[in-house]
Amino acid sequence: MMRSGFTTGSAATAASAAAAYMLFSGKIKEKVTIITPAGVPYNASIVEIRREERAVSCAVRKDGGDDPDITTGSLIFSKVEIVNEDGAETEILIDGGAGVGRVTKAGLDRAVGEAAINTVPRKMIESELKKISEDFDFKGKISVTISVPGGEELAAKTFNPRLGIVGGISILGTSGIVKPMSLEAIRDTIKAELSVKRAEGRRIAVLTPGNYGRDFLKDNYSYNIDDAVQCANFIGDSIDMAAEAGFEAVLLIGALGKLVKLAGGIMNTHSREADCRMEILSAAAVRAGMELESVRGILASVTTEDALRIISEKGFTDKVMSDLSFRAADALERRAGGRIMTGLMIYSNSFGLLGKTDNALELLEESRT
């Protein structure tokens, strides 16, 4: 069984709690336990302790469990400092230091100009520090600065640059824990990208499953690939999120190997969810009138590119792709349920554009503005 880990938000909270305790007690604390929003205790080791007269800084090493998170092993620092001691109640100011990103685009969890420390981690930190302040009968203003050495370099490997978060990583987490290969994290990223695009005033969301779709747009339509949102395998979820974000339309552009599954009503295109590409292609070939031996060849194909060669050699590309495009587009419309307009473009690396809805090119042009 794969081991779960803890978010950057949990690490920042644990470091903040330990720093606050040491600041008020004057004692060293090398272990701290917090309760994550999921109800799971996090027992963190405290390292890199630095004490001053009115401030303490320390770190927790990020433990992502068995999830391949690039932040795993990074030190998440928190510096807790007394600003003043004459308040009627405890006030906690939270900001990001070196290695923590800054928001430059509207539509994200935080406002433009703020540190990319999301709402749940902020609440976690505030909750822990208020409890510790009460334990030591402190009333006043405390500042908390979260920093991550090397965070700017790590961020270059994340979606942060595309989201308009500059200068470092984000301090994230809604449950406080990280599940290996977290699908929730991928969905959250898609939702955040869509939110940014909508906040920029865009009415049409252009979705591509991956980089190949972005390259197809760039090479064939001179499209700014940064305007497209990568939806990975989550076609259905992305349509739902685009509708919820207030987009008027969605244009999905992808390779046949992924989007052929839509013709079978499959809205999560990952192979572990469903892989009946050749069966769907073969059914379309039968409907198009291809003879049985060629259909058997399609069924025996390893890739959709191989299957397309058979279809092309027999002169059935237009008929088969017309059938598939119609059925895939119908599946998208059914998923949208009248909430949002949908469009579709299907291509092949070897054969180029294979099929599209009547509104596809119009939506693509409108999405540029």
For 334, other C-beta atoms within 10 Å of its C-beta total 12
C-alpha span between 227 and 194 (Å, rounded): 10
The number of residues making up the chain comes to 369
- 338 vs 192: CA distance, rounded Å: 23
The set of long-range contacts for 130-139, using a CB threshold of 8 Å and a minimum separation of 24, is 130/90, 130/92, 132/17, 132/20, 132/21, 132/24, 133/20, 133/24, 133/90, 134/90, 135/24, 136/24, 136/25, 138/24, 138/85, 138/90, 139/85, 139/86, 139/87, 139/88, 139/89, 139/90
State the virtual CA torsion across 166, 244, 253, 105 in degrees, nearest 10. -20
Q: What digits encode the pLDDT tens for the residues 135-165?
A: 999 999 999 999 999 999 999 988 888 888 9
Cα(346)–Cα(324) distance, rounded to whole angstroms?
A: 9
Q: What is the pLDDT along the chain (369 residues), one digit of tens a residue?
A: 567 899 999 999 999 999 999 999 999 999 999 999 999 999 999 999 999 999 999 999 999 887 777 899 999 999 999 999 887 889 999 999 999 999 998 888 899 999 999 999 999 999 999 999 999 999 999 999 999 999 999 999 888 888 889 999 999 988 898 876 567 778 888 999 999 999 999 999 999 998 778 889 999 999 998 899 999 899 999 999 999 999 999 999 999 999 999 999 999 998 778 889 999 999 999 999 999 999 999 999 878 988 999 999 999 999 999 999 999 999 999 999 999 999 999 999 889 999 999 999 999 999 987
DSSP-assigned letter for residue 3: P
Measure the N-to-C terminal CA separation of the chain; round to a whole number of Å.
Answer: 48
pLDDT score of 182: 63
Rg of the chain taking only CA atoms, in angstroms? 25
Residue 343's pLDDT is what?
Answer: 97
- Report pLDDT for 180: 64
How large is the angle between the packed helices 235-245 and 317-336, nearest 10 degrees?
50
Q: Which two tokens stand for residue 232?
A: 């990975």
Three-state SS at 188: helix
